């Protein structure tokens, strides 16, 4: 929003009424509109009617989704108003985990074995062929929200009974232990112009469901992981028809060394990963996303930034103190500190790969000892 305003755009915000008093960059907004919501869910027909009413006096040139939950809404509005950008069909590949997996599998890209919660005979076959545990995932949720680890068939059928008519909005997937990586990219005209590979310290599912400090850090440049995942990510984005924007994708490297695609998105990563990327490369993905959206397509249009080649690491945790004092974290490599009640967050940056991960490990231990607390993850998004 700030970059759009800096670039001379008339910038409007549409968000949930319950977020009206959120920490929005109001100095960069020409106007803001709020739609009634229940647990951040909107009546989409009301959204279309409301924005169409605004279109009588406002000319919308671009509609930008700010997070995963907005991708489908933005696509629906673009289709209705005939605004350029990703439409309903392509947006499915960046929101619906079933659509992602089917498309990736059809392109001969490895994915964990899966089964949609549709036909019960297919489910029984899956349960016979794939050993537990399993992961039951909402098809269109964000991050690890709503994911359940299922230990066997009896537990699955009991859970499906509880879901009732909502069960078709879920997918069952084999659980594959391994390291989880993320690849964050800038794409223009279907070409990857910027790409950075990082690895989570612990799987996000473990962090959210079992209570852990969230950590991530860049992999060694030009390592096998770096080269393989950059190549795989290009295949995914091409297969999914991604034309222009930023993307955050996740992969797992199984214990046998096989890489599996997990999911992708058409937005900047959450959990302050953007701050870590900025620390390592000097690239502000939020600002670049805005520049992409407002720059005309074609030759001589968007110019990608030249990144630094440093390394960065990230730590984020809930804090038992309301206003945690981070002044004791004073190493010169510190790039960013979070300022949020009951939270601890740090990003570090160094030209040295080993130094970066050493700091992440040391700070991780200190956060557990001095600040850490945990809460259960919600069944659906709450903010």
* 149-175 per-position pLDDT tens digit: 999 999 999 999 999 999 999 999 999
Per the confidence metrics, is the pTM higher than 0.85? yes
- Looking at residue 295, its pLDDT comes to 87
- Looking at residue 282, its pLDDT comes to 98
- Looking at residue 378, its pLDDT comes to 56
Give per-10-residue mean pLDDT for the chain (383 aa): 93 95 94 92 93 94 89 92 90 94 97 97 97 95 82 97 95 97 97 98 89 97 99 97 96 98 95 97 96 79 94 98 97 97 98 98 98 74 42
- Looking at residue 238, its pLDDT comes to 96
- Looking at residue 377, its pLDDT comes to 59
Give the Cα separation of 285 and 268 in Å (integer).
7
Domains parsed from the chain with CATH numbers: 2-92 (3.40.50.20), 113-174 (3.30.1490.20), 178-373 (3.30.470.20)
- Looking at residue 62, its pLDDT comes to 93
């Amino acid at each position: 929003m700030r970059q759009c305003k800096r670039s001379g755009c008339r910038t409007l915000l549409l968000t949930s009424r319950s977020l009206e008093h959120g920490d929005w960059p109001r100095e960069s907004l020409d106007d803001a509109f709020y739609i009634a919501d229940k647990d951040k869910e909107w009546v989409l027909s009301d959204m279309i009617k409301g924005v169409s009413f605004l279109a009588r006096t406002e000319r919308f040139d671009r509609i930008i989704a700010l997070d995963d939950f907005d991708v489908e809404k933005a696509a629906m509005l673009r289709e209705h108003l005939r605004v350029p950008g990703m439409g309903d069909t392509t947006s499915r590949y960046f929101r619906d985990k079933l659509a992602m997996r089917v498309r990736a599998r059809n392109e001969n890209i490895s994915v964990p074995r899966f089964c949609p919660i549709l036909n019960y005979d297919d489910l029984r076959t899956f349960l016979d062929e794939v050993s537990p545990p399993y992961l039951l995932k909402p098809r269109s949720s964000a991050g690890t929200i709503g994911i359940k680890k299922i230990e066997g068939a009896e537990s699955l059928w009991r859970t499906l009974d509880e879901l009732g008519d909502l069960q078709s909005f879920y997918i069952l997937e084999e659980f594959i232990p391994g390291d989880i990586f993320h690849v964050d990219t800038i794409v223009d005209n279907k070409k990857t112009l910027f790409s950075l590979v990082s690895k989570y310290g612990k799987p996000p599912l473990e962090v959210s469901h079992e209570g852990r400090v969230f950590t991530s850090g860049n992999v060694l440049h030009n390592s096998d992981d770096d080269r393989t995942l950059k190549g795989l990510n290009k295949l995914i984005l091409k297969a999914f028809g991604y034309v222009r924007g930023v993307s955050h994708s996740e992969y797992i490297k199984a214990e046998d060394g096989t890489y599996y695609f997990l999911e992708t998105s058409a937005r900047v990563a959450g959990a302050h990963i953007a701050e870590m990327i900025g620390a390592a490369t000097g690239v502000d993905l939020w600002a670049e996303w805005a520049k992409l959206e407002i720059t005309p397509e074609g030759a001589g249009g968007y110019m990608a930034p030249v990144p630094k080649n440093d390394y960065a690491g990230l730590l984020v945790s809930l804090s038992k103190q309301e206003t945690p004092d981070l002044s004791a974290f004073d190493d010169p490599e510190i790039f960013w500190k979070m300022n949020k009640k009951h939270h601890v967050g740090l990003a570090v940056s160094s030209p040295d790969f080993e130094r970066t991960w050493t700091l992440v490990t040391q700070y991780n231990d200190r956060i557990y000892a001095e600040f850490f607390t945990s809460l259960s993850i919600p069944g659906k998004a709450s903010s």
